[in-house]
Chain A
Amino acid sequence: MSKIAVTATINGDEQEFLCEPGESLLDALRMRLNLTGSKEGCGSGDCGACTVMMDGRMVCSCLVLAPEAEGKRIETIEGVAEGSVLHPIQRKFLEMGGLQCGFCTPGFIVAAKALLERDPDPSETEIRYWLAGNLCRCTGYDKIIRAVQEAAAEMRQERVVS
């Protein structure tokens, strides 16, 4: 059987690619479209390093077949910054040490952005539950949570009293 042609809107641009029927969306993004920001940690939906947005909902791209992306709107970590201007969440991760090895970071950034877009002022507990599907083996999570809180505060244009 020949490859399947898929057309999807990826980070705002309509793109067409050919894929194998059983190929994951993650592999298509990385190997066919050269969008290597999304990472494969586990390949089974446990770690969240491959998190992308599909039609406005975050999913593990390792658990989506590439042909399922037909007609979908996909947003990846590559679409988070505007040119060279980092998103506040990205900047706070850098400033506050929300990453060490960085492998989990794209997934955390995409997931945190999804949270703050639906709830600009989540509690620490809400942040921790929302990010439960993203694993980090370096930071111990606290710095990630603080970075998300700081980014949320900045995005609300508030000043957090430290």
Chain B
Amino acid sequence: MIAFHSPQTLEDASALLAAEPSARPLSGGTDLLVQMRSGRVEPAAIVDLKQIPSMRGIRAHDGGFAIGAATPCTALLDDAALCAAWPGVVEAANLIGSVQVRNRATMAGNLCNASPAADSVPALIAADARALVVGPAGEREVPIADIPAAPGKTNLAQGEFVAEIRLPAKSASGGDAYLRSIPRTEMDIAVVGAGVSLVLDSSGTCTAARVALGAVAPTALLVEEAGAALVGTGLDDAALDRMADAVRAACNPINDKRGTVEYRTAMAAILAKRATRIAQSRAGANS
């Protein structure tokens, strides 16, 4: 028999999760309930995080945004400031599943489910977002890329959970984008995903760039060499080709029915280039 808990504070939630090794946190439930039904997880306790006030909603934080971990993906669309600052992140989160699923599913859940194909994760990594992790030992802020450890596994300790996703202040002349490849138009899992975040100076020269990939390795990747290939350039075709080379070199995908190694590797480079152009136009529009 499962126990169902609805703690009101972060401390109580952490204590409940720490007390029962098989306990699972619940926010949107769109992965957890499917896993429970299939028997992949059999938690003795479910800790619903949605009654904790700070877990819901979006607030200004340090010039950027703090998004409560139980905030559903569709609620991001209702925040005009967030959509203006980080459109790639909001779009990535709203590629997940259907409207029904996105009305429940959260970016924090997408992150902690630790699927290599999670759509919001490369976009968050590109944006240099951080996760506020709460646990028995207190709070710590962790780069998004450091949360997933392997498919289905995180680096969170017993009793720890993600309480917030923190997005930094957006540069006035910055832009971001996320693209994915799927064989359908909706309701599918990324075969490849690419997130890019850029900052341009007044002459259009790229002064900072982060490129992140999904579904081409056991976890979403930050490809530092790909970002470095763009910095200091005017984002000419040669610079994008060098970026694409770095992307292909970083790919280590699986071969499965949804995509071969060759396809995923080639598409990662193409999507990273396209996402770079979108991020560039967004950055240009802002400068």
Per-residue interface assignment for chain A, residues 53 to 97, with 1 indicating a CB less than 8 Å from any chain B CB and 0 otherwise:
010011110111101101000000000000000000000000000
Which residues, 1 to 55 on B, are CB-close (under 8 Å) to A? 1-4, 6, 26, 28-30, 33-34, 36-37, 46, 48, 50
Which B residues lie within 8 Å of A4 (CB)? 4
- Interface stretch among B97-105, B150-158, B269-277? B97-105
Q: A1-B1, A44-B37, A46-B187 are in contact. Are A65 and B101 (CB under 8 A)?
A: no
Determine if B186 is an interface residue (Cβ-Cβ < 8 Å): yes
- Interface stretch among A7-15, A28-36, A127-135? A127-135
Determine if A106 is an interface residue (Cβ-Cβ < 8 Å): no
Which B residues lie within 8 Å of A64 (CB)? 29, 33, 104
Determine if A99 is an interface residue (Cβ-Cβ < 8 Å): no
The reply to whether B103 and A63 contact each other, CB–CB distance below 8 Å, is: no
Which B residues lie within 8 Å of A59 (CB)? 100, 103-104
Determine if B173 is an interface residue (Cβ-Cβ < 8 Å): no
Determine if B74 is an interface residue (Cβ-Cβ < 8 Å): yes
A46 CB, nearest partner CB in chain B, Å:
7
Q: CA A161 – CA B228 in complex, angstroms?
A: 58
The reply to whether A65 and B99 contact each other, CB–CB distance below 8 Å, is: no
Determine if A37 is an interface residue (Cβ-Cβ < 8 Å): no
The reply to whether B100 and A133 contact each other, CB–CB distance below 8 Å, is: yes
Q: Choose from B30, B33, B186 the contact partner of A24 (Cβ within 8 Å).
A: B33
The reply to whether B4 and A21 contact each other, CB–CB distance below 8 Å, is: yes
B190 CB, nearest partner CB in chain A, Å:
16
The reply to whether A60 and B37 contact each other, CB–CB distance below 8 Å, is: no
The reply to whether B187 and A133 contact each other, CB–CB distance below 8 Å, is: yes
Which residues, 83 to 133 on B, are CB-close (under 8 Å) to A? 97-101, 103-104
Q: A21-B46, A44-B37 are in contact. Are A133 and B98 (CB under 8 A)?
A: yes
Name which residue of chain B comes closest to A60, CB basis: B100
Determine if A111 is an interface residue (Cβ-Cβ < 8 Å): yes
Which residues, 106 to 138 on A, are CB-close (under 8 Å) to B? 111, 129-130, 132-134
Name which residue of chain A comes closest to B51, CB basis: A70
Most buried by B among A4, A58, A59: A59
B236 CB, nearest partner CB in chain A, Å:
35
The reply to whether A132 and B187 contact each other, CB–CB distance below 8 Å, is: yes
Determine if A51 is an interface residue (Cβ-Cβ < 8 Å): yes
Q: A24-B33, A43-B37, A68-B48 are in contact. Are A63 and B101 (CB under 8 A)?
A: yes
Name which residue of chain B comes closest to A43, CB basis: B37
A9 CB, nearest partner CB in chain B, Å:
18
Q: A21-B46, A22-B36, A59-B104 are in contact. Are A133 and B4 (CB under 8 A)?
A: no
| Closest A-B pairs by Cβ, 4 of them | A133-B98, A132-B186, A21-B4, A22-B2
Known: A1-B2, A21-B3, A63-B28. 4 other contacts (CB 8 A): A44-B34, A46-B187, A59-B103, A133-B186
A-B contact list, 21 entries, CB within 8 Å: A1-B1, A1-B2, A20-B2, A21-B3, A22-B36, A45-B30, A45-B100, A46-B187, A48-B98, A48-B100, A51-B100, A58-B103, A59-B100, A59-B103, A60-B101, A63-B33, A63-B101, A64-B33, A129-B185, A132-B98, A134-B98
